[in-house]
Amino acid sequence: MSMVREGLLYSKEHEWVRLEGDVAFVGITHFAQEQLGDVVYAELPEKGAAVRQHSSMGVVESVKAASDLYAPVSGEILERNIKVIEKPELVNLDPYGDGWMVRVRPTDRGELGVLLSAAAYREHIGESPGTGGD
């Protein structure tokens, strides 16, 4: 499986963003979950919370270590994924699917411009271009 999925935007801190209309789904990348190891705990912002791009909005913990979850865009949290809180291993099993973290309503779509394309993120993590695509 490729670590990077086409059609998503990526932060250098290894979050992905999937836009659906005026709402953004956010999670951590396959690369991030692999680096982190088995995820055993997730702390996610509550509905209604305001998050700021590049600021910590939660924590993902593996057996070995805690890792900050950064907001890839500023906005209002519409929902946090309760399934991930209840079953943190979803982040390892399906980082781009059932392992999503939060739904955000971005307040400044201009911020999306600083995020990386799949190709740029692939370069960021040192994955060779030939291995891309799902």
Under the binding rule (CB under 8 A), the answer on residue 37 touching another protein is: yes
Residue 14 gets which letter from DSSP? Answer: S
Residues 3-32 contacting another protein, CB under 8 A: none
Output the furthest CA–CA distance in the chain (Å, rounded).
Answer: 41
Under the binding rule (CB under 8 A), the answer on residue 125 touching another protein is: no
- Taking the complex as a whole, the smallest distance from the CB of residue 87 to another protein amounts, in Å, to 12
Residues 65-104 contacting another protein, CB under 8 A: 65-66, 92
Q: Distance between CA 104 and CA 120 in Å, rounded?
A: 23
List contacts with another protein (CB under 8 A).
Answer: 37-38, 40-41, 43, 59, 61-66, 92
